Amino acid sequence: MRQSVSLALRENFEDAYGILDEAKIISPDYFEIFRIEAFVAFRQGDNPRAANAYETAFEYGINQPQLHHFYGGFLIRSFGDYPAASKQFDIALESDPLAVPVLREAARNKFFLYDFGSAQGLLSKAYGVGFLSHKDGVLVSDLQAQLYYRQAEFLLRSGDPRGAFESLRGLQAFVSGLSQEYFDATLVEHLQKALPVIESMQRYEQFCDLEMLDTLELTIRKLHPAFAVSALNEKCARDIYPRRVGLMKVQGRKETFGFLRDEEGVDAFIARASVDESLWAEMCNGKYVEYSIDEHADGKAKATNARLWEFKLGKA
């Protein structure tokens, strides 16, 4: 069935369904076959077929927590039905209360219901369980950051600037205490969305700690590559080719080479052989890298001297 999923991801739906039809002959009452069929149909944009497949899957696997987990995700992505999805996640957690993937998805769903208290409870449970992989830690950390700024935005919009300030205070404590290993491109991008809320809060100086807000704003801005590029170029002003900060593009990436794109949209070729394997893996996983650009005789920009981009948190 993994092959069926792989085919669906490549939009080869006919062959994906063919594999599932054969599986149904061998194991006609195995719920997982119908769950995969629902996934294939979802990828194809056939929501009615996906819903019917889930209905059949529940006939054979009503007590399977992962089935409720995936169905909840389907309800969110296909219909935006957050209350119904919340019920599915609750059922999944009744059977497996320590499942971090379900806790993550359930917490994210609570954001859209503006139930930030419940979302925090779910994330706290995820932290309490611990992470089986670094990726789990990155994903939960990203959700925790989102919770703080989404809650601040909601409270400010609802006429509760004091509550919004407390949420931003929580964000400052969280960001300043978070290990650097959990800052990936997605988390940095999400933190930028807190800047408008921080700027709006600075008008309420009668009960806000402006120094804390300034520190939080500066910390977030320093995380963004656009600011790093500016600082690096200033430092390397005498260089013919100033240092850049960018990300590996997914499009065009091959086994032996790829392309880095900086904040100005400039692409640079990079050969896998020019960096060590650990750095190549970091780039493929969305980590920012610092590098120089060398323009060769063929007119193509090539990245050289690449290294993982390091930044420091805290006050200027």
Q: How far apart are CA 80 and CA 278, in angstroms?
A: 39
CB-facing half-sphere around the CA of 261: CA atoms within 13 A: 11
CATH number for 2-225: choose from 3.30.1110.20, 1.20.1440.230, 3.40.50.150, 1.25.40.10. 1.25.40.10
Tell whether pTM > 0.75: no
**Is 310 buried (19+), middle (13-18) or exposed (0-12) by CB count in 10 A?**
exposed
Tell me if residue 233 falls in helix, strand or coil. helix
Tell me what pLDDT residue 222 has. Answer: 81
Residue 71 identity (one-letter amino acid): Y
- Least confident segment among 81-85, 112-116, 299-303: 299-303
The better pLDDT of the pair 178, 266 is held by: 178
Residue 119 identity (one-letter amino acid): A
Give the rounded distance of the alpha carbon of 159 from its chain centre: 29
Instruction: Give me the count of residues in the chain.
Output: 316
Tell me what pLDDT residue 298 has. Answer: 61
pLDDT score of 309 more than 60: yes
- Per DSSP, helices labelled H in 27-160 are 31-44, 47-61, 65-79, 82-95, 100-112, 116-129, 134-157
Question: What is the band of 315 on the pLDDT scale with cuts at 50, 70, 90?
Answer: very low
**Is 62 buried (19+), middle (13-18) or exposed (0-12) by CB count in 10 A?**
exposed
Tell me what pLDDT residue 197 has. Answer: 94
Domain boundaries, the chain: 2-225, 241-308
Tell me what pLDDT residue 257 has. Answer: 92
Provide Rg for the chain, Cα atoms: 23
Tell me if residue 309 falls in helix, strand or coil. coil
Mean pLDDT of 55-78: 94
Q: Are 181 and 134 in contact (CB under 8 A)?
A: yes
Q: How far apart are CA 161 and CA 165, in angstroms?
A: 6
Give percent of the chain above pLDDT 70: 89
For residue 257, give the H/E element and its range: strand 257-262
Q: What CATH code is assigned to 241-308?
A: 2.40.50.140
**CATH fold match for the domains 2-225 and 241-308:** no
